[in-house]
Structure 1
Amino acid sequence: MKVQVRGQGARRWITIGTIAFGALFFVIGLILAGVSVSFLTDAERARGSVVALEWRNDDHNGASRKTRGNDKPSAYPVVEFTSADGTPREFRDSTGSNPPSYEVGEQVEVLYRADSPEDARINGFASLWLLPLIFGGLGLLIAGIGTGVALAMRGRS
Protein backbone atom coordinates (compact mmCIF):
# COMPACT_ATOMS: atom_id res chain seq x y z
CA MET A 1 0.00 0.00 0.00
CA LYS A 2 1.43 3.34 -1.04
CA VAL A 3 0.42 6.57 0.60
CA GLN A 4 1.26 9.77 -1.15
CA VAL A 5 1.21 13.04 0.70
CA ARG A 6 0.47 15.94 -1.59
CA GLY A 7 0.42 19.57 -0.80
CA GLN A 8 1.23 21.74 2.15
CA GLY A 9 -2.14 21.05 3.83
CA ALA A 10 -1.53 17.30 4.15
CA ARG A 11 1.96 17.85 5.57
CA ARG A 12 0.54 20.32 8.06
CA TRP A 13 -2.08 17.80 9.25
CA ILE A 14 0.54 15.06 9.62
CA THR A 15 2.71 17.43 11.65
CA ILE A 16 -0.20 18.47 13.84
CA GLY A 17 -1.12 14.78 14.32
CA THR A 18 2.46 13.98 15.36
CA ILE A 19 2.50 16.82 17.89
CA ALA A 20 -0.93 15.77 19.24
CA PHE A 21 0.16 12.12 19.53
CA GLY A 22 3.28 13.17 21.43
CA ALA A 23 1.27 15.48 23.66
CA LEU A 24 -1.16 12.64 24.43
CA PHE A 25 1.70 10.34 25.47
CA PHE A 26 3.16 13.14 27.59
CA VAL A 27 -0.19 13.70 29.34
CA ILE A 28 -0.50 9.95 30.01
CA GLY A 29 3.00 10.08 31.56
CA LEU A 30 1.93 12.99 33.77
CA ILE A 31 -1.21 11.14 34.86
CA LEU A 32 0.81 8.02 35.73
CA ALA A 33 3.29 10.18 37.67
CA GLY A 34 0.36 11.73 39.55
CA VAL A 35 -0.93 8.25 40.41
CA SER A 36 2.51 7.35 41.81
CA VAL A 37 2.72 10.58 43.82
CA SER A 38 -0.79 10.01 45.18
CA PHE A 39 0.12 6.45 46.13
CA LEU A 40 3.29 7.66 47.88
CA THR A 41 1.47 10.31 49.92
CA ASP A 42 -1.13 7.83 51.22
CA ALA A 43 1.13 4.78 51.55
CA GLU A 44 2.07 3.04 54.75
CA ARG A 45 5.58 1.62 54.95
CA ALA A 46 6.65 -1.81 56.14
CA ARG A 47 9.70 -4.04 55.94
CA GLY A 48 9.26 -7.01 53.69
CA SER A 49 11.24 -9.94 52.44
CA VAL A 50 11.44 -11.44 48.96
CA VAL A 51 10.32 -15.05 49.52
CA ALA A 52 10.32 -16.24 45.90
CA LEU A 53 10.88 -15.22 42.30
CA GLU A 54 8.03 -16.02 39.94
CA TRP A 55 9.43 -16.58 36.44
CA ARG A 56 6.97 -15.74 33.69
CA ASN A 57 6.91 -15.32 29.94
CA ASP A 58 4.48 -12.44 29.47
CA ASP A 59 2.44 -13.85 26.60
CA HIS A 60 -0.76 -11.96 27.49
CA ASN A 61 -1.63 -11.34 23.85
CA GLY A 62 -1.07 -14.92 22.72
CA ALA A 63 2.05 -14.13 20.69
CA SER A 64 4.43 -17.01 20.27
CA ARG A 65 7.99 -16.82 21.53
CA LYS A 66 9.34 -16.70 17.98
CA THR A 67 7.36 -13.60 17.01
CA ARG A 68 8.04 -11.69 20.23
CA GLY A 69 11.76 -11.36 19.69
CA ASN A 70 12.53 -11.76 23.40
CA ASP A 71 11.83 -15.25 24.67
CA LYS A 72 13.55 -14.87 28.05
CA PRO A 73 11.25 -15.10 31.08
CA SER A 74 11.17 -12.29 33.63
CA ALA A 75 11.47 -12.72 37.39
CA TYR A 76 8.69 -11.11 39.45
CA PRO A 77 9.44 -10.90 43.16
CA VAL A 78 6.97 -12.41 45.63
CA VAL A 79 7.13 -10.38 48.84
CA GLU A 80 5.88 -11.08 52.36
CA PHE A 81 5.31 -8.28 54.86
CA THR A 82 3.25 -7.59 57.97
CA SER A 83 0.76 -4.73 57.75
CA ALA A 84 0.21 -2.24 60.57
CA ASP A 85 -2.70 -4.31 61.94
CA GLY A 86 -0.34 -7.27 62.46
CA THR A 87 -1.68 -9.37 59.56
CA PRO A 88 0.92 -11.18 57.46
CA ARG A 89 0.50 -10.31 53.77
CA GLU A 90 1.96 -11.51 50.49
CA PHE A 91 1.97 -9.92 47.04
CA ARG A 92 3.60 -10.31 43.64
CA ASP A 93 5.25 -7.16 42.37
CA SER A 94 4.00 -5.94 39.00
CA THR A 95 7.50 -5.26 37.66
CA GLY A 96 9.65 -8.14 36.45
CA SER A 97 13.13 -8.20 34.99
CA ASN A 98 15.81 -10.49 33.62
CA PRO A 99 18.27 -10.61 35.28
CA PRO A 100 16.23 -10.38 38.49
CA SER A 101 16.29 -7.06 40.35
CA TYR A 102 15.89 -8.82 43.71
CA GLU A 103 17.15 -12.02 45.30
CA VAL A 104 15.23 -14.46 47.49
CA GLY A 105 15.77 -13.43 51.11
CA GLU A 106 16.48 -9.79 50.26
CA GLN A 107 14.89 -7.23 52.58
CA VAL A 108 12.81 -4.55 50.82
CA GLU A 109 10.67 -1.60 51.83
CA VAL A 110 7.01 -2.18 51.01
CA LEU A 111 4.51 0.59 50.34
CA TYR A 112 0.81 -0.23 50.74
CA ARG A 113 -2.51 1.48 51.29
CA ALA A 114 -3.83 1.11 54.83
CA ASP A 115 -7.41 0.72 53.57
CA SER A 116 -6.39 -1.96 51.03
CA PRO A 117 -3.11 -3.67 51.99
CA GLU A 118 -3.38 -5.97 48.95
CA ASP A 119 -2.47 -2.88 46.86
CA ALA A 120 1.23 -3.06 47.68
CA ARG A 121 4.43 -2.24 45.81
CA ILE A 122 8.12 -2.47 46.45
CA ASN A 123 9.55 0.99 47.11
CA GLY A 124 11.77 1.06 44.04
CA PHE A 125 12.33 3.11 40.93
CA ALA A 126 10.86 0.64 38.43
CA SER A 127 7.70 -0.01 40.46
CA LEU A 128 6.89 3.68 40.86
CA TRP A 129 8.45 5.68 38.05
CA LEU A 130 9.27 3.49 35.02
CA LEU A 131 5.93 3.82 33.18
CA PRO A 132 5.58 7.58 33.80
CA LEU A 133 9.12 8.08 32.49
CA ILE A 134 8.58 5.94 29.40
CA PHE A 135 5.29 7.61 28.43
CA GLY A 136 6.42 11.13 29.33
CA GLY A 137 9.81 10.76 27.63
CA LEU A 138 8.37 9.29 24.44
CA GLY A 139 5.71 11.98 24.41
CA LEU A 140 8.28 14.75 24.70
CA LEU A 141 10.42 13.17 22.00
CA ILE A 142 7.57 12.69 19.51
CA ALA A 143 6.06 16.14 20.17
CA GLY A 144 9.54 17.68 19.90
CA ILE A 145 10.13 16.04 16.53
CA GLY A 146 6.74 17.22 15.29
CA THR A 147 7.43 20.74 16.54
CA GLY A 148 10.86 20.75 14.89
CA VAL A 149 9.34 19.66 11.58
CA ALA A 150 6.62 22.32 11.90
CA LEU A 151 9.21 25.04 12.54
CA ALA A 152 11.33 23.84 9.61
CA MET A 153 8.29 23.87 7.31
CA ARG A 154 7.34 27.33 8.52
CA GLY A 155 10.83 28.62 7.81
CA ARG A 156 10.76 27.26 4.25
CA SER A 157 7.43 28.80 3.32
Structure 2
Amino acid sequence: MVQVQIRGRGARRWITFGAITFGALFLVIGLILTGVSVSFLADAERAPGTVVALEWRDGHNGASRKKRENDEPAAYPVVEFTSADGTPRTFRSSTGSNPPSYEEGERVEVLYRADSPEDARINGFASLWLLPLVFGGIGLVIAGIGTAVAVVGRRRSQAVRSTQPLSECEFPRRR
Protein backbone atom coordinates (compact mmCIF):
# COMPACT_ATOMS: atom_id res chain seq x y z
CA MET A 1 0.00 0.00 0.00
CA VAL A 2 1.31 3.43 -0.93
CA GLN A 3 1.10 6.16 1.67
CA VAL A 4 1.38 9.79 0.78
CA GLN A 5 2.42 12.23 3.47
CA ILE A 6 1.23 15.77 3.00
CA ARG A 7 2.90 18.40 5.11
CA GLY A 8 0.72 20.93 6.79
CA ARG A 9 -2.96 21.07 7.49
CA GLY A 10 -3.45 23.72 4.82
CA ALA A 11 -2.40 21.39 2.01
CA ARG A 12 -4.62 18.60 3.37
CA ARG A 13 -7.57 20.96 3.57
CA TRP A 14 -7.08 22.13 -0.02
CA ILE A 15 -6.79 18.57 -1.33
CA THR A 16 -9.86 17.50 0.64
CA PHE A 17 -11.77 20.57 -0.56
CA GLY A 18 -10.68 19.84 -4.14
CA ALA A 19 -11.85 16.21 -3.92
CA ILE A 20 -15.23 17.21 -2.50
CA THR A 21 -15.63 19.96 -5.12
CA PHE A 22 -14.55 17.70 -8.01
CA GLY A 23 -16.87 14.94 -6.79
CA ALA A 24 -19.77 17.35 -6.32
CA LEU A 25 -19.24 18.71 -9.84
CA PHE A 26 -19.34 15.20 -11.33
CA LEU A 27 -22.40 14.39 -9.22
CA VAL A 28 -24.17 17.52 -10.50
CA ILE A 29 -23.26 16.62 -14.09
CA GLY A 30 -24.65 13.13 -13.48
CA LEU A 31 -27.88 14.59 -12.11
CA ILE A 32 -28.19 16.96 -15.08
CA LEU A 33 -27.67 14.07 -17.51
CA THR A 34 -30.30 12.08 -15.59
CA GLY A 35 -32.69 15.01 -15.99
CA VAL A 36 -31.96 15.16 -19.72
CA SER A 37 -32.74 11.44 -20.08
CA VAL A 38 -35.92 11.73 -18.02
CA SER A 39 -37.02 14.76 -20.07
CA PHE A 40 -36.22 12.91 -23.29
CA LEU A 41 -38.27 9.90 -22.15
CA ALA A 42 -41.22 12.11 -21.15
CA ASP A 43 -41.42 13.71 -24.62
CA ALA A 44 -40.24 10.80 -26.75
CA GLU A 45 -42.24 9.16 -29.49
CA ARG A 46 -41.70 5.45 -29.96
CA ALA A 47 -41.20 3.60 -33.21
CA PRO A 48 -39.98 0.16 -34.24
CA GLY A 49 -36.55 0.19 -35.80
CA THR A 50 -34.04 -2.19 -37.32
CA VAL A 51 -30.27 -2.28 -36.91
CA VAL A 52 -29.12 -2.09 -40.56
CA ALA A 53 -25.37 -1.93 -39.95
CA LEU A 54 -22.68 -1.85 -37.32
CA GLU A 55 -20.23 1.01 -37.77
CA TRP A 56 -16.88 0.07 -36.27
CA ARG A 57 -14.94 3.04 -34.94
CA ASP A 58 -11.91 3.50 -32.75
CA GLY A 59 -12.78 4.22 -29.13
CA HIS A 60 -11.21 7.67 -29.26
CA ASN A 61 -13.37 8.88 -32.18
CA GLY A 62 -10.42 10.07 -34.23
CA ALA A 63 -8.94 12.30 -31.54
CA SER A 64 -5.19 12.71 -31.71
CA ARG A 65 -4.02 10.63 -28.79
CA LYS A 66 -1.67 7.71 -28.66
CA LYS A 67 -3.25 4.37 -29.33
CA ARG A 68 -2.97 1.99 -26.42
CA GLU A 69 -2.63 -1.76 -26.78
CA ASN A 70 -6.06 -2.41 -25.29
CA ASP A 71 -7.81 0.17 -27.51
CA GLU A 72 -10.21 -1.84 -29.61
CA PRO A 73 -12.77 -0.48 -32.02
CA ALA A 74 -16.39 -0.36 -30.87
CA ALA A 75 -19.51 -1.20 -32.88
CA TYR A 76 -22.04 1.64 -33.14
CA PRO A 77 -25.42 0.43 -34.40
CA VAL A 78 -26.91 2.22 -37.41
CA VAL A 79 -30.68 2.11 -37.09
CA GLU A 80 -33.51 2.74 -39.55
CA PHE A 81 -37.00 3.66 -38.44
CA THR A 82 -40.03 5.49 -39.78
CA SER A 83 -41.15 8.58 -37.85
CA ALA A 84 -44.82 9.38 -37.18
CA ASP A 85 -44.97 11.63 -40.28
CA GLY A 86 -44.10 8.61 -42.46
CA THR A 87 -40.55 9.71 -43.26
CA PRO A 88 -37.91 6.95 -43.21
CA ARG A 89 -34.99 7.95 -40.99
CA THR A 90 -31.54 6.59 -40.20
CA PHE A 91 -29.28 7.39 -37.24
CA ARG A 92 -26.08 6.10 -35.69
CA SER A 93 -26.29 5.38 -31.98
CA SER A 94 -23.94 7.46 -29.84
CA THR A 95 -23.22 4.38 -27.72
CA GLY A 96 -20.83 1.77 -29.06
CA SER A 97 -19.51 -1.41 -27.52
CA ASN A 98 -17.18 -4.32 -28.10
CA PRO A 99 -18.52 -6.97 -28.30
CA PRO A 100 -21.49 -5.40 -30.10
CA SER A 101 -24.68 -4.98 -28.09
CA TYR A 102 -26.82 -5.42 -31.21
CA GLU A 103 -26.66 -7.50 -34.38
CA GLU A 104 -27.49 -6.49 -37.93
CA GLY A 105 -31.16 -7.17 -38.61
CA GLU A 106 -32.10 -6.96 -34.92
CA ARG A 107 -35.39 -5.21 -34.16
CA VAL A 108 -35.12 -2.40 -31.58
CA GLU A 109 -37.43 0.21 -30.13
CA VAL A 110 -36.45 3.74 -31.14
CA LEU A 111 -37.19 6.82 -29.07
CA TYR A 112 -37.17 10.20 -30.80
CA ARG A 113 -38.49 13.73 -30.36
CA ALA A 114 -41.44 14.50 -32.60
CA ASP A 115 -40.14 18.05 -33.22
CA SER A 116 -36.65 16.78 -34.13
CA PRO A 117 -36.70 13.13 -35.25
CA GLU A 118 -32.96 13.24 -35.97
CA ASP A 119 -32.51 13.26 -32.18
CA ALA A 120 -33.16 9.53 -31.83
CA ARG A 121 -31.90 6.86 -29.46
CA ILE A 122 -32.30 3.14 -29.03
CA ASN A 123 -34.51 2.41 -26.03
CA GLY A 124 -31.78 0.66 -24.04
CA PHE A 125 -29.96 1.04 -20.75
CA ALA A 126 -26.62 2.18 -22.20
CA SER A 127 -28.02 4.85 -24.51
CA LEU A 128 -30.25 6.35 -21.81
CA TRP A 129 -28.52 5.80 -18.48
CA LEU A 130 -24.81 4.99 -18.96
CA LEU A 131 -23.45 8.57 -18.86
CA PRO A 132 -25.62 9.68 -15.91
CA LEU A 133 -24.58 6.55 -14.02
CA VAL A 134 -20.86 6.98 -14.77
CA PHE A 135 -20.73 10.69 -13.88
CA GLY A 136 -22.99 10.33 -10.85
CA GLY A 137 -21.14 7.26 -9.60
CA ILE A 138 -17.70 8.80 -9.97
CA GLY A 139 -18.93 12.00 -8.32
CA LEU A 140 -20.50 10.13 -5.43
CA VAL A 141 -17.37 8.06 -4.79
CA ILE A 142 -14.91 10.99 -4.98
CA ALA A 143 -17.10 13.37 -2.93
CA GLY A 144 -17.69 10.58 -0.42
CA ILE A 145 -13.96 9.90 -0.05
CA GLY A 146 -13.22 13.63 0.31
CA THR A 147 -15.97 14.01 2.91
CA ALA A 148 -14.78 10.96 4.85
CA VAL A 149 -11.20 12.30 4.87
CA ALA A 150 -12.47 15.69 6.07
CA VAL A 151 -14.56 14.13 8.87
CA VAL A 152 -11.72 11.86 10.03
CA GLY A 153 -9.26 14.77 9.94
CA ARG A 154 -11.60 16.96 11.94
CA ARG A 155 -12.19 14.25 14.55
CA ARG A 156 -8.44 13.66 14.88
CA SER A 157 -7.71 17.35 15.35
CA GLN A 158 -10.49 17.61 17.95
CA ALA A 159 -9.10 14.55 19.76
CA VAL A 160 -5.60 16.04 19.77
CA ARG A 161 -6.92 19.36 21.11
CA SER A 162 -8.88 17.66 23.88
CA THR A 163 -5.79 15.78 25.11
CA GLN A 164 -3.50 18.84 25.21
CA PRO A 165 -3.15 20.61 28.59
CA LEU A 166 -4.66 24.04 28.82
CA SER A 167 -2.02 26.76 28.81
CA GLU A 168 -1.97 29.89 30.85
CA CYS A 169 -2.54 31.88 27.67
CA GLU A 170 -5.96 30.38 27.21
CA PHE A 171 -7.08 30.62 30.84
CA PRO A 172 -5.15 33.17 32.90
CA ARG A 173 -4.67 32.34 36.58
CA ARG A 174 -6.83 34.00 39.13
CA ARG A 175 -4.89 35.98 41.69
Per the normalisation by structure 2, the TM-score is 0.84
Matches within 5 A, 1:6-21: 6-21=7-22
* Residues 42-87 of structure 1: CA deviation (Å, up to 9, x unaligned): 110000000010011133321232xx34231100000000000011
Residue of structure 2 in register with 1:136 after alignment: 136
Q: 3-state DSSP class of the match of 2:84?
A: coil
* RMSD between superposed Cα atoms in Å: 1.5
Structure 2 equivalent of residue 97 of structure 1: 97
| 2:65 maps to amino acid | A
Alpha-carbon distance between aligned partners in 1 of 2:58 and 2:11, rounded to the nearest angstrom: 42
Amino acid of the residue matched to residue 126 of structure 2? A
* Alpha-carbon distance, 1:7 to partner: 1.5
How far 1:15 moved relative to its partner?
Answer: 0.7
1:105-116 matched pairs, under 5 angstroms: 105-116=105-116
d(CA) in 2 for partners of 1:28, 1:70: 28
Quote how far apart the aligned CAs of 1:13 are.
1.6
Taking CA–CA contacts closer than 8 Å with sequence separation of 6 or more, which of the two structures ends up with the larger relative contact order? 1
Counterpart residue number, 1:64: 66
* Distance (whole Å) between structure 2 residues aligned to residue 151 and residue 58 of structure 1: 39
Where structure 1 has 5 or more consecutive residues not aligned to the other structure, the ranges are: none
Tell me, in whole angstroms, the C-alpha distance in 1 between the residues paired with 2:119 and 2:44: 10
TM-score (norm 1): 0.93
Q: Which amino acid aligns with 2:47?
A: A
Q: Supply the distance in 2 between the matched residues of 1:99 and 1:155 (Cα, whole angstroms).
A: 48
State the identity as a percent.
78
Q: Which residue of 2 aligns with 1:22?
A: 23
C-alpha distance in structure 1 between counterparts of 2:146 and 2:138, whole Å:
12
AA matched with 1:149: V
- Residue 38 (structure 1) aligned with residue 52 (structure 2): no
C-alpha distance in 1 between matches for 2:8 and 2:63: 40
Corresponding position: 1:122 with 2:122: yes
The one-letter code of the counterpart of 2:118 is E
Aligned to 2:150: 150
Aligned partners of 1:7 and 1:56: how far apart in 2? 48
Matched AA of 1:86: G
Q: Partner letter of residue 12 of structure 2? A: R
* Aligned-partner Cα distance in 1 for 2:73–2:20: 36
Can you list the C-alpha shifts for 1:98-154, whole angstroms capped at 9, x where unaligned?
Answer: 000000110000000101101100000000000000000000000000011111101
Higher Rg of the two aligned structures:
2
Structure 2 counterpart SS, 1:22: helix
> Match of 2:14, SS?
helix
In the other structure, the counterpart of 1:51 is 52
